[in-house]
Structure 1
Amino acid sequence: MPYTQDIVEELNILVRYNLTTTQEGIKVHKTATPETINATRRLYDKGLISQKDGGYLTSLGREVAEQAQAILDILKPA
Protein backbone atom coordinates (compact mmCIF):
# COMPACT_ATOMS: atom_id res chain seq x y z
CA MET A 1 0.00 0.00 0.00
CA PRO A 2 1.54 3.36 -0.98
CA TYR A 3 1.64 6.27 1.44
CA THR A 4 -1.45 8.47 1.25
CA GLN A 5 -1.22 12.24 1.63
CA ASP A 6 -2.81 11.91 5.09
CA ILE A 7 -0.07 9.51 6.19
CA VAL A 8 2.65 11.77 4.83
CA GLU A 9 1.18 14.70 6.75
CA GLU A 10 1.05 12.64 9.94
CA LEU A 11 4.66 11.54 9.47
CA ASN A 12 5.67 15.17 8.97
CA ILE A 13 4.16 15.99 12.37
CA LEU A 14 5.86 13.06 14.08
CA VAL A 15 9.33 13.96 12.80
CA ARG A 16 9.01 17.40 14.41
CA TYR A 17 9.23 15.90 17.89
CA ASN A 18 12.56 16.06 19.71
CA LEU A 19 13.29 12.46 20.65
CA THR A 20 16.22 13.31 22.93
CA THR A 21 13.79 14.28 25.71
CA THR A 22 10.32 13.38 26.88
CA GLN A 23 9.86 16.86 28.38
CA GLU A 24 9.39 18.66 25.06
CA GLY A 25 6.18 18.59 23.07
CA ILE A 26 4.75 20.59 20.19
CA LYS A 27 1.81 22.95 19.84
CA VAL A 28 -0.14 23.24 16.60
CA HIS A 29 -1.80 26.63 16.56
CA LYS A 30 -5.15 27.41 14.99
CA THR A 31 -3.28 29.44 12.35
CA ALA A 32 -1.56 26.30 11.05
CA THR A 33 -2.62 24.87 7.72
CA PRO A 34 -5.81 22.79 7.77
CA GLU A 35 -3.74 19.78 6.68
CA THR A 36 -1.45 20.16 9.71
CA ILE A 37 -4.36 20.63 12.11
CA ASN A 38 -6.18 17.60 10.71
CA ALA A 39 -3.04 15.44 10.77
CA THR A 40 -2.46 16.35 14.41
CA ARG A 41 -6.03 15.46 15.31
CA ARG A 42 -5.71 12.10 13.54
CA LEU A 43 -2.53 11.34 15.50
CA TYR A 44 -4.41 12.15 18.71
CA ASP A 45 -7.31 9.91 17.67
CA LYS A 46 -4.83 7.10 17.00
CA GLY A 47 -3.35 7.49 20.48
CA LEU A 48 0.06 8.70 19.29
CA ILE A 49 0.02 12.15 20.93
CA SER A 50 -1.45 13.43 24.16
CA GLN A 51 -3.49 16.42 22.91
CA LYS A 52 -5.59 17.23 19.84
CA ASP A 53 -3.31 20.20 19.15
CA GLY A 54 -0.01 18.41 19.74
CA GLY A 55 1.23 17.93 23.26
CA TYR A 56 3.58 15.06 24.00
CA LEU A 57 4.18 11.73 22.35
CA THR A 58 2.55 8.73 23.99
CA SER A 59 4.61 5.58 24.41
CA LEU A 60 3.25 4.26 21.12
CA GLY A 61 3.74 7.66 19.51
CA ARG A 62 7.39 7.70 20.54
CA GLU A 63 7.96 4.31 18.93
CA VAL A 64 6.31 5.45 15.71
CA ALA A 65 8.21 8.77 15.72
CA GLU A 66 11.50 6.93 16.17
CA GLN A 67 10.71 4.74 13.17
CA ALA A 68 9.55 7.72 11.10
CA GLN A 69 12.75 9.61 11.86
CA ALA A 70 14.87 6.55 11.09
CA ILE A 71 13.16 6.15 7.70
CA LEU A 72 13.71 9.84 6.96
CA ASP A 73 17.41 9.56 7.87
CA ILE A 74 17.84 6.57 5.58
CA LEU A 75 16.01 8.11 2.62
CA LYS A 76 17.32 11.67 2.73
CA PRO A 77 19.87 12.58 0.06
CA ALA A 78 23.50 11.86 0.86
Structure 2
Amino acid sequence: MIKNYSDTLFDEMKLLAKFPEKSQLEGIKIHHDASPSIITAAKSLFDKGLITQTDGGYLTDSGFETVDHLHRVLATLS
Protein backbone atom coordinates (compact mmCIF):
# COMPACT_ATOMS: atom_id res chain seq x y z
CA MET A 1 0.00 0.00 0.00
CA ILE A 2 1.37 3.40 -0.97
CA LYS A 3 0.99 6.12 1.64
CA ASN A 4 0.18 9.60 0.41
CA TYR A 5 1.87 12.39 2.34
CA SER A 6 0.53 15.91 2.37
CA ASP A 7 2.47 18.89 1.07
CA THR A 8 2.13 20.36 4.56
CA LEU A 9 4.10 17.45 6.00
CA PHE A 10 6.96 18.13 3.59
CA ASP A 11 6.80 21.85 4.41
CA GLU A 12 7.07 20.94 8.10
CA MET A 13 10.08 18.73 7.40
CA LYS A 14 11.78 21.48 5.37
CA LEU A 15 11.17 23.97 8.16
CA LEU A 16 12.46 21.59 10.83
CA ALA A 17 15.59 20.99 8.76
CA LYS A 18 16.39 24.71 9.04
CA PHE A 19 16.74 24.52 12.83
CA PRO A 20 20.29 24.16 14.12
CA GLU A 21 20.92 20.55 15.07
CA LYS A 22 23.73 21.17 17.55
CA SER A 23 22.11 23.59 20.01
CA GLN A 24 18.72 24.18 21.54
CA LEU A 25 19.80 27.73 22.28
CA GLU A 26 19.36 28.83 18.66
CA GLY A 27 16.00 29.22 17.02
CA ILE A 28 14.37 30.70 13.96
CA LYS A 29 11.82 33.44 13.34
CA ILE A 30 9.08 33.16 10.72
CA HIS A 31 8.21 36.66 9.56
CA HIS A 32 4.63 37.73 8.83
CA ASP A 33 5.45 38.12 5.12
CA ALA A 34 6.75 34.54 4.76
CA SER A 35 4.96 32.25 2.33
CA PRO A 36 1.61 30.97 3.59
CA SER A 37 2.87 27.37 3.44
CA ILE A 38 5.75 28.18 5.80
CA ILE A 39 3.45 30.03 8.20
CA THR A 40 1.07 27.05 8.17
CA ALA A 41 3.94 24.61 8.72
CA ALA A 42 5.21 26.61 11.71
CA LYS A 43 1.74 26.71 13.27
CA SER A 44 1.37 22.96 12.75
CA LEU A 45 4.77 22.25 14.33
CA PHE A 46 3.78 24.41 17.30
CA ASP A 47 0.45 22.56 17.61
CA LYS A 48 2.37 19.26 17.61
CA GLY A 49 4.61 20.52 20.41
CA LEU A 50 7.81 20.52 18.35
CA ILE A 51 8.56 24.26 18.49
CA THR A 52 7.95 26.86 21.19
CA GLN A 53 6.16 29.59 19.19
CA THR A 54 3.68 29.69 16.31
CA ASP A 55 6.20 31.81 14.41
CA GLY A 56 9.24 29.64 15.08
CA GLY A 57 11.08 30.12 18.31
CA TYR A 58 13.09 27.21 19.63
CA LEU A 59 12.81 23.48 19.39
CA THR A 60 11.17 21.70 22.29
CA ASP A 61 12.80 18.52 23.59
CA SER A 62 10.54 16.51 21.26
CA GLY A 63 11.39 18.85 18.41
CA PHE A 64 15.11 18.48 19.03
CA GLU A 65 14.78 14.68 18.96
CA THR A 66 12.66 14.84 15.79
CA VAL A 67 15.22 17.09 14.06
CA ASP A 68 17.95 14.62 14.98
CA HIS A 69 15.99 11.81 13.32
CA LEU A 70 15.19 13.99 10.32
CA HIS A 71 18.86 14.87 9.77
CA ARG A 72 19.77 11.17 9.94
CA VAL A 73 17.18 10.34 7.27
CA LEU A 74 18.31 13.21 5.07
CA ALA A 75 21.97 12.21 5.42
CA THR A 76 21.13 8.64 4.47
CA LEU A 77 19.18 9.73 1.39
CA SER A 78 21.73 12.30 0.26
Matches within 5 A, 1:1-78: 1-76=3-78
Secondary structure in structure 1 of the residue aligned to 2:32: coil
Misfit runs of 4+, over 6 Å: none
Deviation at 1:16, TM superposition (A): 0.4
- Deviation string for 1:31-70 (max 9, x for gaps)? 1100000000000001000000000000111111111111
Normalised by the length of structure 2, the TM-score is 0.92
Aligned length: 76
Q: Distance in 2 between matches of 1:6 and 1:22?
A: 24
- Corresponding letter in the other structure for 1:73: A
Secondary structure in structure 1 of the residue aligned to 2:57: strand
Deviation at 1:3, TM superposition (A): 2.5
